[in-house]
Structure 1
Amino acid sequence: MFAGEIKQLWRYPVKGLRGESLRSAAVDADGMAGDRVLGVFEPGTGKAVWGGSHPKMMGWEAAWPAQCGCADAVSGSPVLYEPGGAAWSADEAGLPARLAETIDAGKGAEIRRTAGAGDRMLVIFEASVRRLGEELGREIAAARFRPNVIVEADLEPYAETALAPGTPIRLGEHEFTLLMPCERCVLPSWDPSGSNERDMELHKHVIKELGNHFGVYVGIGESARVAVGDPVAG
């Protein structure tokens, strides 16, 4: 048993790009509204252009423009911001060429709809982030793991990945189900700012010491809303 609260919420409108911080978010059986609904692909193919092969992608940000004062709204098209700060609508004609140029995508880039986040949200625990930093002897940015929910709770570091699938986890007023631990790819080893620098020691440590798991996926079968400051219990 554990208890805590939601400290941060994050959404990534374009898979592989940096995302946006939220105060609250709508969630349903498809995951967090507006999360990873667009992706970057090689033109005319189904092959994804992703941060593991093009880490400069993380120099770009994506966010949904505020609608009617609702920071978590997802109507219209998201806005993409290139490293220099210039803003592009996701459907703007010149965006694909500019994106490809800045991320070194030699075959070009095409922004298309995806299947979304795959009916799940990624939750990480601050205690585990702190312990990882202690083990490596330096601060580790939670952003490396691209979480949707960052939780502070009275759970031992890394204990969340040992919880059984199907375990109920309450976020705010709604009961979510733990689906599985998150098996990590190479992406957390790349600097989340898009600087094109890689931390191989971090990657090796997660594989060797943590069984290549960090964070857990949760899902829910109904409509819900979560917010920063909501209580967490499991």
Structure 2
Amino acid sequence: MGTVVALHRYPVKSMLGETLMSAAITRTGLSGDRTHAVLDDVGTIGSAKHPRKWGQLLQCRSRLTEGGTVEVELPDGSVFPVGDPELNAQLSKLLGRSLRLSADAPADAPLERAAPEYEGGVPDTVRASSYVDETGEEITVDSIAPGTFFDNGRIHLVTTSSLAVLRAVRPDYDFDPRRFRPNLVIDTGEGQGFLEDTWVGCRVRVGEALCRVVVPTPRCVVPTLGHDELRPDLSLMRTISRTHRLPVFDLGRLACLGVYLDVLAPGLVRAGDPLTQQDGP
């Protein structure tokens, strides 16, 4: 099926993360991934899916130290460990309101998302409940998976073949996989097309871990934003919308790239490990 060519972890939701050579896949996902998030005074989860309100989080980088501490590097290069009151103060200054970084996901915490105009950017039933907030952005409000800072799925995977399709459609666009914030980038070799679509429902082994491919990944506005040295590209998602809309559960046909995986059996995964299909339900 393919080979792992990149592993990524994002200890703080919506911040830049780190590239790894190996990582443990646990029952709850890649070890150390999305263990923390920035919250405001009413418990809203900081997410760059609402870029006017939270987009500056993508100017920060989070990483997990060898000692197991999460650190955050701010845009000015200063680094603070999670738990340092100065980190909350600096994040509040950066975004212009009172914020705190937390490892505890509040029950029913709201997650705000921009409602993009392109077709398939948000389910029609959800768009019907959208409203314009104080930033002037049309948004929808959802919730995260209970007890976590994940939106859906535990592991996010994209393939080189899917990115190649998009590059062929618009060679002038930058479809760098980092824009899509995957945990796993899979090199599918000479395979062509959106191969991961055909894996939905299958069990796959990646390294020592066993997973099930659950659903295509609906895309939000985050890939269009600046990521590190990658510049903003507001047209990128329109290309995906025109090229690749798929039915997702009962939400209609949405602009998708990649797939979400759930973990069936934990194990270590390394760059260079194969991804193989396994028999069984």
* Structure 1 match to 2:266: 223
Q: Cα distance 1:51–1:180, how it changes in 2: closer, same or farther (>3 A)? A: same
Q: C-alpha separation between the residues in 2 aligned to 1:66 and 1:157? A: 39
Give the stretch that moved more between structures: 209-218 or 119-128.
119-128
Q: C-alpha separation between the residues in 1 aligned to 2:210 and 2:88? A: 40
1:197-234 CA-to-partner distances (Å, cap 9, x unmatched) read: 64221121122221110011112222211111111123
* Structure 2 match to 1:171: 206
Code of the residue aligned with 1:225 in structure 2: it is: L
Q: Is 1:161 aligned with 2:197?
A: yes
Runs of 5+ consecutive residues of structure 2 not aligned to the other structure: 106-147, 246-254
Alignment of 1:90-109 (within 5 A): 90-102=82-94, 105-109=95-99
Q: C-alpha separation between the residues in 1 aligned to 2:228 and 2:168? A: 22
Greater relative contact order, per chain length (Cα 8 Å cut-off, separation 6+): 1
3-state SS in 2 of match to 1:137: coil
Per-residue deviation, 1:50: 1.4
* Structure 2 match to 1:8: 6
Does the aligned pair in 1 maintain the 2:209–2:266 contact within 8 Å? no
TM-score by length of 1: 0.86
Q: What is the Cα-based RMSD across aligned positions, in Å?
A: 1.9
1:158-186 CA-to-partner distances (Å, cap 9, x unmatched) read: 1212433x211221233311011101111
Alignment of 1:125-136 (within 5 A): 125-136=159-170
Give the stretch that moved more between structures: 112-121 or 18-27.
112-121
Which residue of 46, 51, 63 maps to 2:48?
A: 51
TM-score by length of 2: 0.72
* Structure 1 match to 2:40: 42
* Structure 1 match to 2:61: 61
Q: C-alpha separation between the residues in 2 aligned to 1:90 and 1:161? A: 38
1:104-163 CA-to-partner distances (Å, cap 9, x unmatched) read: x23322111231446510011012223222322233221110000011014322121243
Code of the residue aligned with 1:176 in structure 2: it is: C
1:60-103 CA-to-partner distances (Å, cap 9, x unmatched) read: 10001123xxxxxxx2x30100122111111111112212322x
Alignment of 1:134-213 (within 5 A): 134-138=168-172, 139-154=174-189, 155-164=191-200, 166-193=201-228, 198-211=232-245, 212-213=255-256
Q: Cα distance 1:194–1:40, how it changes in 2: closer, same or farther (>3 A)? A: farther
Q: Cα distance 1:56–1:134, how it changes in 2: closer, same or farther (>3 A)? A: farther
* Structure 1 match to 2:141: none
Give the stretch that moved more between structures: 17-26 or 154-163.
154-163
Q: C-alpha separation between the residues in 2 aligned to 1:208 and 1:119? A: 25
Q: C-alpha separation between the residues in 2 aligned to 1:23 and 1:209? A: 32
Q: C-alpha separation between the residues in 2 aligned to 1:109 and 1:162? A: 42
Runs of 5+ consecutive residues of structure 1 not aligned to the other structure: 68-74
How many pairs are equivalent? 219
Q: C-alpha separation between the residues in 2 aligned to 1:89 and 1:194? A: 24
Code of the residue aligned with 1:108 in structure 2: it is: S
